[in-house]
Amino acid sequence: VKETRQPEYLRKLDKEHYFHPTTPLKLHQENGPGLIIKEGKGIHVTDVYDDVYIDGVSSLWNVNIGYGRQEMAEAAKQQMMRLSYGSSFFNNSNDQVIQLSEKLAELTPGNLDVSFFTSGGSESNESAFKIVRHYWKLKGRPERTKIIALDLSYHGVTMGATSATGVREFDHMITSSAPGFLHAKPYLTDCEKGDKSQPDYESSIRGIVEKEGPETVAAVILEPIQGVGGINIPPEGYLKAVRELCDEYGIYMIADEVICGFGRTGEMFGVDNWEVVPDLMSVAKGITSGYMQLGAVLLKSELRDELAEMSDDVFFHGFTYSGHPTACAVGLKNLEIIENEKLVQNSKHMGDELLKGLAYLEEQHQVTAKSRTAGLLGAIELYADRDSGKAFDPSLHAAQQVVEECLSRNLLLRPLSFGGMNAVALAPPLIVNKGDIETMIDR
């Protein structure tokens, strides 16, 4: 082993030279990095000490088809040999981005038939915000700029996306968010349907729209199921109520499908669980299962058509890597694998197994409660006393402790501790089988 590959040497270099994303910097400087992984195969990853772990959260809930797939490497290699990169600026195109756009149109519900490509989820949400604001400007309604998001939502880290994010820790780090972003309390279905007698009415999306004036609101953005905020599954009827509210006031509805998309929740898209069709949809992560950086905003063709009709000018928004041919080729192969191996259906069935496993943990452990899954997006919560709902003292970092204990048993999970919750997320690759789920629960 070359000196540079030795684990302790890597740890030292990491400490010296690597500024980690979304990481406690002080802890990194004191202790160095946590896990340093070097290999992945199926649902397992191997670290530099050769310890093998089950990846119970698909890394950042993105490695949907699992690690180390030969076909994916082949698709990337072939495309790189043919055309490694090509720009889509100035009305140019390439064969891969065209095919992926068509495939996405086929998979999405309703008439979300047009794709704008990015390199990830934040860029997708940022682009969605700019598209709707641009639309209203061209429409002669430049005051229609406000974006309403939900508390405990996560939409990414670029300026607009972080301002929309309702997990406050993310936008508090920039002191103040961008203007025009407002937050509503999640899942107030009756309020969204118009019941003004509800005590929380003013905090609902409808309450905010009516207070601010619908003529100032450009769009509502929400994750069909909140991920980072705690795997919060909306009650039946909520998404539909938001859809109807948006229709009533001519407000665009943006679904952030960055986690939910491509089978994670047991349907192709999160909104498919409730048969709601948004006007725009942000996707990333599962579109390539993390094999390449790719994201997209999928929009109703009428919206693109209207934008085209209203202006002869350039649409002044695009990324160097919008429509990257290699990323698109990898995305196409990934979607082919998801379909051929029926991974959306597997996600649904294995999600049911996971829920049974979590229910078993609830029987065994007095501190666990509120197990929930939607496909293979699941969580279990921890309470000091679950009967009274008494939370653990935050200084105990209960969810973090459980995750560390699971790490010592070679199972990677993720704590979700925002908004006073102590949840542990479980979101394994969509290729898991019953035995894998049992092993996870066992550990």
Residue 281 has which token pair? Answer: 């949809």
Q: What residues have CB less than 8 Å from 261, skipping those under 6 apart?
A: 268, 269, 270, 281, 283, 284, 285, 286, 287
Alpha-carbon span 19 to 245, nearest angstrom: 43
Q: Which is nearer to ligand PLP, 123 or 353 (CB)?
A: 123
Q: Which residue is nearest to ligand PLP (CB)?
A: 121
Q: Which is nearer to ligand PLP, 75 or 294 (CB)?
A: 294
Number of helices (H) and strands (E) in the chain: give both, helices first: 16, 15
Residue 117 has which token pair? Answer: 């490509």
Q: Which is nearer to ligand PLP, 226 or 439 (CB)?
A: 226
Measured from the CB of residue 426, what is the shortest distance to ligand PLP in angstroms? 16
Q: Which is nearer to ligand PLP, 294 or 402 (CB)?
A: 294
DSSP state letter for 385: B
Beta strands in 59-145 (DSSP E): 114-118
Backbone angles phi, psi at 174, to 5 degrees: -100, 15
| Cross-strand pairs, 252 | 219
Measured from the CB of residue 228, what is the shortest distance to ligand PLP in angstroms? 6
Measured from the CB of residue 121, what is the shortest distance to ligand PLP in angstroms? 2
Q: Of the candidates 426, 427, 377, which has an alpha carbon nearest to the alpha carbon of residue 233?
A: 377
Alpha-carbon span 183 to 194, nearest angstrom: 18
Binding site for ligand PLP (CB under 6 A): 60, 120-122, 125, 154-156, 223, 227-228, 256, 258-259, 284
Measured from the CB of residue 422, what is the shortest distance to ligand PLP in angstroms? 20
Q: Which is nearer to ligand PLP, 165 or 373 (CB)?
A: 165
Alpha-carbon span 232 to 16, nearest angstrom: 38
Measured from the CB of residue 149, what is the shortest distance to ligand PLP in angstroms? 11
Residue 410 has which token pair? Answer: 């070679």
Q: Which is nearer to ligand PLP, 94 or 158 (CB)?
A: 158
Measured from the CB of residue 270, what is the shortest distance to ligand PLP in angstroms? 9
